[in-house]
C-alpha cells in the first residue's frame, strides 16, 4: 500500500454576475453532447481517427465539453429550504487532452476530466478549479506537465470569461 500526499492549487474568482449568468456563460463555451450518445459513438469508433472525429464533434469553441453536472444547491435546499445559495459542480474536459496526460502519468486519470465549482456566497458567485498542474507536479513528468499547463490555461481563461 502506498499513500502519497499531493498539494493542490485552487484557482478561484469571485464574480458580481448572477449565478445563472455565470453557469450560462460557461455552458455556452463548452460542448454539450448527449453524453450517452457520445459514449456510444466513442465505443463504436473503429479507429483512433474515427474516435478523434467523435470527440471533435462534441467539443465547444473552447475545445472542451461538459461530461456531467451536479446541482449541489438543490440537494442542500431539500434540507435547508429555498434560501440556500446555489451551487453547481461541472465536470469538464476533453478526452484527447486526458489521453495525452494519462500516456505519461497514469494517475492523471484520477483528476481528468476536471471539476469546476460555481457557488453563491455572501461576497458574490465563486468560480473555482483545482489546477491540473498541481495534481501532476509530484509525478515529475515534463510531458504530462506541459499538457496540464495547457489545460489549466484553457480552463482559467474560460473561468475568467464566465466571471467578468
Low-confidence ranges of the chain (pLDDT < 70): none
Residues 6+ apart with CB under 8 A from 98: 108, 109, 112, 113
Q: What pLDDT, on the 0 to 100 scale, is given for residue 24?
A: 96
Q: What pLDDT, on the 0 to 100 scale, is given for residue 132?
A: 96
Q: What pLDDT, on the 0 to 100 scale, is given for residue 10?
A: 97
Q: What pLDDT, on the 0 to 100 scale, is given for residue 73?
A: 83
Read off the C-alpha cell for 144.
504530462
Q: What pLDDT, on the 0 to 100 scale, is given for residue 2?
A: 87
Q: What pLDDT, on the 0 to 100 scale, is given for residue 145?
A: 97
3 state SS for the chain:
CCCCCCCCCEEEEEECCCHHHHHHHHHHHCECCCHHHHHHHHHHCCCHHHHHHHHHHHCCCCCCEEEEEEEHHHHHHHHHCCCCCCEEEEEEECHHHHHHHHHHCHHHHHCCCEEEEEEEECCEEEEEEECHHHHHHHHCCHHHHHHHHHHHHHHHHHHHHHHC
* Full set of structural domains in the chain with CATH: 10-163 (3.30.310.70)
pTM of the model: 0.91
Amino acid at each position: 500500500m502506498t499513500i502519497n500526499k499531493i498539494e493542490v492549487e485552487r484557482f478561484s474568482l469571485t464574480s458580481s454576475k448572477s449565478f445563472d449568468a455565470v453557469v450560462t456563460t460557461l455552458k455556452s463555451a463548452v460542448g454539450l453532447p448527449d453524453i450517452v450518445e457520445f459514449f456510444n459513438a466513442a465505443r463504436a469508433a473503429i479507429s483512433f481517427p474515427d474516435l478523434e472525429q467523435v470527440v471533435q464533434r462534441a467539443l465547444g469553441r473552447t475545445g472542451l465539453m461538459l461530461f456531467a453536472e451536479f446541482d449541489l444547491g438543490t440537494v442542500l435546499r431539500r434540507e435547508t429550504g429555498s434560501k440556500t445559495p446555489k451551487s453547481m459542480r461541472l465536470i469538464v474536459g476533453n478526452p484527447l487532452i486526458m489521453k495525452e496526460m494519462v500516456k505519461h502519468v497514469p494517475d492523471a486519470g484520477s483528476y481528468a476530466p476536471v471539476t469546476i465549482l460555481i457557488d453563491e456566497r455572501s461576497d458574490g458567485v465563486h468560480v473555482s478549479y483545482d489546477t491540473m498542474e498541481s495534481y501532476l507536479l509530484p509525478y515529475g513528468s515534463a510531458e504530462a506537465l506541459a499538457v496540464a499547463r495547457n489545460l489549466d490555461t484553457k480552463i482559467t481563461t474560460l473561468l475568467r470569461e464566465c466571471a467578468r
